[in-house]
Each structure stands twice: as C-alpha cells, then as structure tokens.
C-alpha cells in the first residue's frame, strides 16, 4: 500500500551530491521506506546517460560533465530549470516502468496545460515537446506514439502482413518542435531515481554545445522562449503537485 509522495524542496544545489544522495537513499530503502519527491534547481552541469557518446558533447568549456547510470544520453541542467526526482517503490505503486514514464510525462503535460501550453509526446523519444509555431495548438502530431494497430500501420493492411516497417519508423521526427522537458530514469530493486527536468527560464546556450539526448539539431526551448512568463517557484510548485497526483497508485 502506497504511503504517498513526501515532497522535499532542495533549492539550488550542485548535481553530484544529489546524485550520490539518490543512490544512497535507494540502496538503503526497505519495503517500509516512504516514497519521496525531490525538487531542485541545479548549477550548470552536463549529465551523460548510459547510452551517452562522448561525441555528442562538442564543447563543455567550464561546465562539468558527469557520467551517470540513468537511461538515455547527454542533457544539460542549469538555473531556471525545475528538476524533479521521484524516489518511488514501483512494486508498491503497482505499475511497471513503461507506465511510470507515461505518468511522469502526463504530469509535465498537465503542468504545461495550466500555463496555456500543449505538450506532446514523440514516438521513440521520451520527454515532452512543443510546437514552435503554435505552442498552444492541440493538433495531434503525426509522429506521436500510436496506440492501435490501425494507426501504427496506416491504411494499408498489407504493410503489416508483408512485414514492412510501421509508419514513422525512420527514427523520431522533431520537425517544427522544441524539447521543453527531458526525462531519464533508473530503477534499482524496484526503487526509482533520476527523473524529469522542465525548462522554465534558462540560458539555453549550453544546449548548443551538445546533441541534446543524442539528437543532432534537436532544438531545446523553455517557457520564456515561447512567451510564457512564469517564476521558477510557481512552476516547481505545480509540477510537484502534478507528479504527486499522477504517480499515485
């Protein structure tokens, strides 16, 4: 039975001590350990995931690069970004990793909606994206994750029968999109750590020195870039609320 998420606000902190604290928390937790949600803001840092490749970081300059054990590739954390780390017992929560990721993304989408922005999922590329030409548009992306076989394979049933690849199989298509939230997780002994980062009002220049999440040319945006003026505290409060709600069993 879940005890609910206990919210901890950590302020602006260096990345490495929090990474170490998440690992220690997860290693020490038992079946009775209450779940926690840590919300913070990091000083500038590039973090590299397990799938990360050195060539995706062009010029880190004075920004440190930290190798981590989360999924995914390289991303940037810095001031003006809300970072949320759910430390959750998935077994107790009663759902699997795929649904966990979906629930985190849903919390981000609902947070953005409160600010008049429509967040989108892109098939094969975890995280949340916005339309650059119309961030409020509800129009569905053709490259969204497909739920049914008919959507996945299109109008030609012979494609499935003959083993042809489904539509949009050439990798994620980011045309006209900007990434506003990045997601990378780790699960150890049913315990989750790492999490999600929502860009609020940042210096986005450091993203130009990497292939964000391993994708060349992927544009990264924040709320201020798309015309939404909101404070870090307000965004953090709302994202924390939405995560607490959507990660509930």
Q: Extract the tokens encoding 138.
A: 């509800």
pLDDT in tens, 89-109: 999 999 999 999 999 999 999
Is the pLDDT assigned to residue 167 strictly greater than 60? no
Is the pLDDT assigned to residue 149 strictly greater than 80? no
The 10 Å Cβ neighbour count of residue 130 is: 25
pLDDT band at 198 (very low <50, low <70, confident <90, very high): very high
Q: CA-CA-CA-CA torsion for 218, 222, 225, 226, nearest 10 degrees?
A: 90
Across the chain, what does the average pLDDT equal? Answer: 90
Is the pLDDT assigned to residue 165 strictly greater than 50? no
* pLDDT mean over 144-170: 50
Q: Bigger pLDDT: 101 or 168?
A: 101
Active site residue 213: yes
Edge-to-edge strands of the sheet including 65-67? 65-67, 45-48, 75-77
Q: Please, what is the end-to-end C-alpha distance for the chain in angstroms?
A: 9
Domains of the chain: 5-246 (3.30.930.10)
What's the pLDDT score for residue 4?
80
* pLDDT mean over 58-75: 95
What's the pLDDT score for residue 213?
87
What's the pLDDT score for residue 13?
98
What's the pLDDT score for residue 164?
40
Nearest to 51 by CA among 75, 68, 71, 76: 71
What's the pLDDT score for residue 162?
43
Is the pLDDT assigned to residue 248 strictly greater than 60? yes
What's the pLDDT score for residue 88?
97
Is the pLDDT assigned to residue 76 strictly greater than 50? yes
Is the pLDDT assigned to residue 170 strictly greater than 80? no
Nearest to 207 by CA among 44, 66, 12: 44
What's the pLDDT score for residue 171?
78
The one catalytic residue among 5, 122, 182, 213: 213
* CA 103 to centroid of chain Cα atoms: 11
């Amino acid at each position: 039975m879940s005890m609910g998420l206990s919210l901890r606000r950590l302020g602006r902190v260096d990345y490495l001590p929090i990474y170490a604290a998440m690992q220690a928390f997860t290693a020490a937790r038992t079946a009775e350990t209450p779940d926690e949600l840590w919300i913070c803001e990091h000083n500038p840092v590039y973090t590299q995931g397990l799938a990360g490749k050195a060539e995706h970081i062009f010029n880190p300059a004075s920004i440190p690069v930290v190798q981590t054990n989360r999924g995914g590739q390289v991303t940037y954390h810095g001031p003006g970004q809300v970072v949320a780390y759910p430390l959750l017992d998935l077994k107790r929560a009663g759902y699997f990793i795929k649904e966990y990721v979906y629930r985190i993304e849903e919390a981000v989408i609902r947070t953005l909606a409160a600010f008049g922005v429509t967040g989108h999922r892109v098939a094969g590329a975890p995280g949340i994206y916005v339309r650059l030409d119309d961030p409020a548009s509800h129009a569905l992306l053709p490259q969204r994750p497909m739920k049914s076989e008919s959507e996945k394979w299109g109008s030609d049933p012979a494609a499935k029968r003959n083993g042809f690849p489904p539509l949009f199989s050439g990798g994620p298509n980011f045309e006209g999109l900007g990434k506003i939230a990045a997601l990378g997780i780790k699960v150890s002994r049913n315990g989750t750590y790492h999490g999600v980062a929502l860009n609020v009002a940042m210096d986005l220049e450091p993203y130009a020195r990497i292939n964000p999440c391993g994708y060349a040319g992927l544009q990264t945006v924040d709320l201020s870039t798309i015309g939404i003026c909101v404070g870090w505290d307000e965004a953090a409060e709302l994202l924390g609320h939405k995560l607490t709600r959507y990660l509930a069993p």
